[in-house]
Amino acid sequence: MAKAVLKYSLIAIVLVFIIALVWIAYSMYGPQNTYHCGTFSSYDAKTQNCCLGIVYEGTDWKQCGNTCYDEDTSDCCNGVIYPGNTWHDCNGSCYNFQTESCCNNAVYSGTGWMACGSTCYDEKTSDCCNGEIYYGNSWNICNNTCYDTQTQDCCRGTLYNGTSWKVCGSTCYDEKTSDCCNGEIYYGNSWNICNNTCYDAQAQDCCRETVYNGTKWDACNGVCYNSRNQTCCNNRTLINATGTCR
């Protein structure tokens, strides 16, 4: 009995030795890029991969927990395989970043959630200003004060009611009701500049860099005239408006 056990043990040792020699020879002289996988398998590293002792077609197989996955088509999150390449970890929870957000270590439905102070808000429907959440997407900051740009404006660090305030010199004006000319504010929206002089286009006119009272001033052969009572003939001579050019 003992001899039989010894005999079979020697046979087993010889077989293991032969298998080992075969693997060594295959590794040294077999096809290039071929590697061992598990106990008796081999794979071509150019087209296959080995994961947990199993050969898979494709080169992007990775271990996830106690199984394997193709990272080209799936994600591994916290040891669980999810289809697609859109999964991330959020404080131990897995979420799809195409449909969800991670904010302050919590998962929210929707992709527009951001941190604001110690809480979170959906930037698609709200704004964060000075660590406070305001409903709507029209909020801005002016000299450390939050304001709604749909109803107010910020000019030189000061808030004004209305949305059309602009700088003029060292102060601000509402361009809906006033004009800025040469750094000065003029009431109304009819002010222009003529040779560095401001004038009201509703009551005055600019001709050859000179301001004239009244409107409809024009030049005729280098001379300014008012077309209300004069006419320019052939761009050379002036006659009364009731006259006829010859």
What's the rounded Cα separation, in Å, for the pair 120 and 106?
Answer: 9
> CB neighbours (10 Å) of residue 207?
17
pLDDT at 239: 75
pLDDT at 1: 55
71 contacts 61 by C-beta, under 8 angstroms:
yes
What's the rounded Cα separation, in Å, for the pair 131 and 154?
Answer: 19
Determine the longest span between alpha carbons in the chain, in angstroms: 148
At a CB cut-off of 8 Å and minimum separation 6, what does 238 contact? 220, 223, 225, 230, 231, 232
At a CB cut-off of 8 Å and minimum separation 6, what does 236 contact? 220, 221
> CB neighbours (10 Å) of residue 81?
18
| Residuewise pLDDT in 10s, the chain (246 residues) | 555 545 555 666 656 556 555 545 555 555 556 788 987 788 998 999 999 999 999 999 999 999 999 999 999 999 999 999 999 999 999 999 999 999 999 999 999 999 999 999 999 999 999 999 999 999 999 999 999 999 999 999 999 999 999 999 999 999 999 999 999 999 999 999 999 999 999 999 999 999 999 999 999 999 999 988 888 888 877 778 677 776
Concatenating the DSSP letter of every residue in 82-99 gives EESS-EEEETTEEEETTT
Instruction: Collect contacts of 160-165 with beta carbons under 8 A, ≥24 apart.
Output: none
pLDDT at 11: 64
Q: What would the two tokens of residue 92 be?
A: 């131990």
pLDDT at 236: 76
The H or E element containing residue 49 is strand 48-51
What's the rounded Cα separation, in Å, for the pair 229 and 54?
Answer: 104
pLDDT at 9: 59
Q: What is the pTM of this model?
A: 0.67
Length of the chain (residues): 246
